Amino acid sequence: MARPKLTIYLDAVSPFGYLAFYTIYNSALFKQCDVKYVPILLGGVMKACNNTPPLRIKNKDKFINKDRLRWAKSFNIPISETTPEGFPTNTVSVRLIPISFSPVAALAPPWRFHPPPKPHAVTDPPSQTQRALAALELASPDKLGAAFAEVYKAYWVEGKPVEKPEVFGPALERAVGKELAKKAVDALGSAEAKSQLSKNTDKALADGAFGMPWYMATNAKGETEGFFGFDHLGQVIEHLGLERGDSLRSML
């Protein structure tokens, strides 16, 4: 019988993506299945689905910050009490796009932006984090788990501006070593890295994603289903047929 498989789509900007990643990456429970970590653009998914970002919804913007801390406490996940510097950040490099389709605009409160009539370069703040991760995926996909672990730690635990090369560069180096990290950073502006990130985001949308975390879970019977949210991780485990044991039973 085939091993269960789990794909999780990730963007460093998402706090609940971090919570899901941390649990999956560090729990022995998920050693029972093959896990694939896929970098995407959350802002692109949100815009494609006409999904209103939580930070632009009255009252929900305050609630989700409390909610992430509650979940982190329940699962003993390290996380900063305050949001990271510059949050929400744009995790794609500067490019020429209309502001209405900007990943930053998709994540930030509406009062931060005054859309101009013409396309312009998004520079608030420029980031290349997700492209670097996409470049790493092309070079060494088996290293993505370790890379996401360090990137998430820098952003959601240490509160550093992960969109800056001086932050995500060293994070990648700690995860995969100097040589491979340099290769990924050097390639982040390449057509291949851009195409990979775009393809990943399109695949997430095709798989039904409308936010993050989004999972695609295939059990030993070959049955595949999509799931959304950190709070639905228990359903993911149930579908995959994983033996929970006692450690996560009460929380999931």
**AA letter at 220:** A
208-247 pLDDT, tens per residue? 999 999 999 999 999 999 999 999 999 999 999 999 876 5
Q: Is the pLDDT of residue 1 over 70?
A: yes
Chain mean pLDDT for the chain: 84
* pLDDT above 90 coverage of the chain, percent: 67
Q: Do residues 115 and 100 touch, judged by C-beta distance below 8 A?
A: yes
Alpha-carbon separation of residue 192 from 43, 127, 177 (angstroms)? 20, 17, 22
Query: How would residue 85 be classed by pLDDT, with cut points 50, 70 and 90?
Result: confident
Strands in the chain per DSSP E: 5-10, 34-39, 96-97, 120-121, 214-218, 224-228
pTM for the full predicted model: 0.83
Output phi, psi for 7, to 5 deg. Answer: -110, 130
Spot the catalytic one: 14, 27, 80, 102: 14
70-76 average pLDDT score: 93
Query: How would residue 65 be classed by pLDDT, with cut points 50, 70 and 90?
Result: confident
pLDDT of 103 reads: 39
Q: Which fold has domain 5-240?
A: Glutaredoxin (3.40.30)
What are 217's two structure tokens?
Answer: 């879970």
Annotation says 14 is catalytic: yes
Residues with Cβ < 8 Å from 79, sequence gap 6 or more? 15, 18, 19, 68, 69, 72, 156, 157
109-167 pLDDT, tens per residue? 433 333 433 333 332 333 589 999 999 999 999 999 999 999 999 999 999 999 899 99
